[in-house]
Each structure stands twice: as structure tokens, then as C-alpha cells.
Amino acid sequence: MNNPFEVEQLKRLQPSQFIKTCLANKLRTDGRTLHQSRPIHSHSDVISSAHASTIVSIGNTSVLCAIKFETAQPESAKPNQGFLVPNVELGPMCCPKYKPGPPPDQAQILATKLKDILISYFYFLSSSYN
């Protein structure tokens, strides 16, 4: 399977045999070894209206993260503590099953989990300095 033309022929005409040949040679179907990952690319400051943003790509998968900060009055019950409101948006560009409109349940679950992780992290940071 050294000839690129033969590889493409086998891939298109006999996909099952192509996969078997790849496995026998300990290769993935895209030519990488079994332990070789796809290249990771990242670009920062991709959204000018955000305080920080980055896009990370692995193969054909990309994730965009942007952070915006706002100040607000603390809750009266906790006047010395701030609060955190993460938002996760899953729109039609990330997957066709997501439609414009109110956030899907999965986005709300992810936002809650993200908030729990961030609060735990900040609690850990503050307790390590006391």
C-alpha cells in the first residue's frame, strides 16, 4: 500500500478490505500509526469583542471558546463574593441537530457542569493561599 493511487482505489472500491489492510499494518485509515494523534492547531484572539478567545482544531473538529467579563453588584447575602454565570452555546454551526432559539438541554447541563468546575477551581485557589 505504498502507491497513493492504489490506496485510493482500495479505499473506494473495497472499503472493508482497505480497513483490514490498515489494521494488519497497524495504521489508521488516514495513514497515521495507531498511537499517532491528529495535529492540534490553535489561534488566539479570534473574536475582537471578547476579552479572550481561541479556536482549537483537531482534524476536522473545531471548538471556539470566548470569554467576556462584566461587573455587577454582589448579592446582598454575600457582599464580599462575586458570582459566575457561564454560558454554553450549541448552535447549528456545531451540529445540525441544534436549531436557533432557546438553548438546548445539553447546553444548560454543560453550563452547569462548567460552573461547578470553575467554582471548585477558584475555591481551591483561594484556600491554598490561606
Both 44 and 28 in one domain: the answer is no
Both 20 and 64 in one domain: the answer is no
Both 24 and 42 in one domain: the answer is no
Q: Is the pLDDT of residue 48 over 90?
A: yes
Both 18 and 56 in one domain: the answer is no
pLDDT of residue 60: 85
Both 26 and 44 in one domain: the answer is no
Q: Which domain holds residue 43?
A: 37-69
Domain count, the chain: 3
- CB contact at 8 A, 55 and 64: yes
Q: Which residue has the cell 453588584?
A: 73
- CB contact at 8 A, 89 and 103: yes
Q: Is the pLDDT of residue 36 over 90?
A: yes
Of 128 and 122, the one with more pLDDT? 122
Per DSSP, the three-state class of 77 is coil
- Please say which residue of 26, 54, 69 terminates a domain: 69
Q: Average pLDDT of 101-106? A: 89
Residue partners of 91: CB distance under 8 A and separation at least 6: 98, 100
- CB contact at 8 A, 56 and 40: yes
Parallel/antiparallel/unpaired status of strands 52-58 and 40-44: antiparallel
Question: From CA 86, how far away is CA 94, in angstroms rounded?
Answer: 18
